Structure 1
Amino acid sequence: MPNYRRDYSGCTWFFTVVTKQRRRLFLDEHARACLREAVWICRAQYPFHIDAWVILPDHLHCVWTLPEGDRDYSRRWGIIKRRFTQLFGGQCRYALPFWQERFWAHRIDGDSDYRHHMDYVHINPVKHGLVNCVSAWPWSTFHQFVKSAYYPDDWGGNIDIPNGIGKE
């Protein structure tokens, strides 16, 4: 019987992380600031490269590349969630816990998969009807990619959303 061993060390990963009961925590600037700080604290101890990120009201998507020889993304998410809870927990109107227990992780497999997930991260605010063009959503790495010419400013087009009503 073959022994199928997977070595995911140093790989690039796509994640979806959702708030508990889909609470719209990240409409609050303080919540977004606490999340930024939690990520910064985690990266200081357990480095990783953020390839792409988008924060939506009740969830986030991101693409990370871990250092060679490291595959412990679960520890990183545990630290981020715990630090966010400590930073945000005492100063909000929401009941604990803030996060769903699990998250979605997908190992990026090649250039095409990478591009697909980068596009998915950045188009998500339009997909959920939060804005009608990608560049209108401020909490995304999309703007950095426009500056580096990875995307044109008008990437994702401009769709008509009646009265700005979301599809969530």
Structure 2
Amino acid sequence: MVDSAHKHLAHLAAFNAEPVVFFTVVTAGRRAVLACAEAYDVLRGLWERSAQANQWWVGDYLLMPDHVHFFARAGRGADTMKNWVQMWKSVSARMLLKRLRLGPPFWQEDYFDRYLRSSENYSDKWAYVQANPVRAGLVAQTEDWLFRGRIHDLRF
């Protein structure tokens, strides 16, 4: 017998065709090698060039010793997410392994991504990310952490 009183779940809000994605990427073996000027400069430089080269715009980002969090949005004609992440991880690994005199691998193979639906979702996630260095006991206040920034303003 079919239950005619069956309630359907509400539809989610419309999904932006070019959504903002929240990423977390971790170093291999969780090596604490990212909270330094070399890693900051390499990653920021690659991400700054990504808008022109790959049609990926990086917004806010924060480097922790063993992982990085950032927000990005693909433009029309962008590289696939997988290809773009693979590209900057590969290039940054080559550069940082040499500069930091480390053996491979530099990054874990996989990464975490989550699509965000609203500016409120972005703001909440960014507030949580900015507090990571404080929760880890690395600084007393979020603004004291040097390894963070914004490249592009990702608007909803």
Task: Tell me the TM-score normalized by structure 2.
Answer: 0.76
Runs of 4+ in 1 over 6 A off after TM superposition: none
Alpha carbons 1:16, 1:61 under 8 Å: kept: yes
Over 3 Å counting, the alpha-carbon distance change for 1:121 and 1:39 in structure 2 is same
Taking the aligned partners of 2:59 and 2:45, their CA distance within structure 1 comes to 18
Q: CA deviation at 1:8?
A: 6.9
Q: 2:149 aligns with which of 141, 147, 150?
A: 141
Q: Which amino acid aligns with 2:103?
A: A
**Shift, 1:121, TM fit:** 2.3
The percent of aligned pairs where both chains have the same amino acid is 24
Alpha-carbon separation, structure 2, partners of 1:89 and 1:57: 15
- The counterpart of 1:131, out of the listed 108, 114, 139, is 139
**What is the DSSP-based 3-state SS (H/G/I as helix, E as strand, rest coil) of the residue aligned with 1:96?**
coil
Segments of 5+ residues of structure 2 without an aligned counterpart are 1-14
Which residue of structure 2 aligns with residue 38 of structure 1?
46
**Count of residues in Structure 1 that have an aligned counterpart in Structure 2:** 139
Residue pairs, 1:64-103, within 5 angstroms? 64-68=72-76, 70=78, 72-103=80-111
1:119 aligns with 2:127: yes
Spell out, residue by residue over 1:23-81, the C-alpha distance to the aligned partner (whole angstroms, 9 max, x if none).
11123322322222332343331122322110111111011122246572222111111
- Determine if contact 1:9/1:66 at 8 Å carries over to the other structure: no
The one-letter code of the counterpart of 1:107 is Y
The amino acid that maps onto 1:57 is: P
**Between 26-35 and 15-24, the greater mean CA deviation after superposition:** 26-35
- Unaligned 5+ segments in structure 1 are 1-6, 146-168
Distance of aligned partners of 1:42 and 1:69 in 2 relative to their CA distance in 1, 3 Å threshold? closer
Pair 27,140 (structure 1): closer, same or farther in 2 beyond 3 Å: closer
Q: Which residue of 1 aligns with 2:5?
A: none
- SS of the residue 1:26 aligns to: coil
More strand by share: 2
TM-score, normalised relative to structure 1:
0.71
Instruction: Report if the CA contact (8 A) 2:47-2:58 is conserved.
Output: no
User: 2:64·2:133 contact (CA, 8 Å) conserved in 1?
Assistant: yes
Distance across 2 between alignment mates of 1:46 and 1:71 = 6
RMSD: 2.7
Greater relative CO, 1 or 2 (CA 8 Å, sep 6+): 2
Determine the structure 1 residue equivalent to 2:115.
107
